[in-house]
Amino acid sequence: MTILKSLFTWWNDATIGTQLWARYRGKEVGRDESGNIYYEEAKASRPNGRKRRWVIYNGTAEASRVPVEWHGWLHHTFDEPPSKAPFATKEWEKDHSPNLTGTEGAYRPSGSLWKGAQRPHATGDYEPWQPE
C-alpha cells in the first residue's frame, strides 16, 4: 500500500517521480525544523536566468507549513537560503505555526457545535427587520 501511495498521492508525501526529478535536476539547499527539504535547480532553465526553487514536504503538502524565511527564499525575495544566511528575527516575532483549519487543532469558539457545547440562549434584545 505504501508503494501505491508514493506513486499516486502527492498530498501525503512527494511521489516517486517528484523525488527522482528533485534528485537529478536539483540540489538540496537546506531543511527546516519541520523536516521539509528545499531544492534549487542545478542549472537555470528559465528565460530570465533564475533557478527554479521548490520544497518537498515532510508529510502532508500544506503551504502554510513553510516558515517565513524559507517562503522568502522560495519566492526569490532573498538570494541566499536561510541555511547559509540565517533570517534575523525580532524579539517580538512569534514562532511559525501552520494553518490548522480542517484539523483537530483548529480554533473552535465557545458555543461551536464542533466543541460539543451549547450555544448561549438569546437575550431577547433582537428585533428582526420588517418591511413597511
Q: Are strands 26-31 and 37-41 parallel, antiparallel or unpaired?
A: antiparallel
Average pLDDT, whole number, for the chain? 80
CA gap 95, 98 in Å, rounded: 10
In the chain, domain spans: 2-115
Q: Has residue 20 got a pLDDT over 60?
A: yes
Which residues lie below 8 Å from residue 87, measured CB to CB, with a gap of 6+?
A: 68, 69, 72, 78
Give the best-scoring range by mean pLDDT among 31-35, 48-52, 95-99, 120-124. 31-35
pLDDT band at 1 (very low <50, low <70, confident <90, very high): low
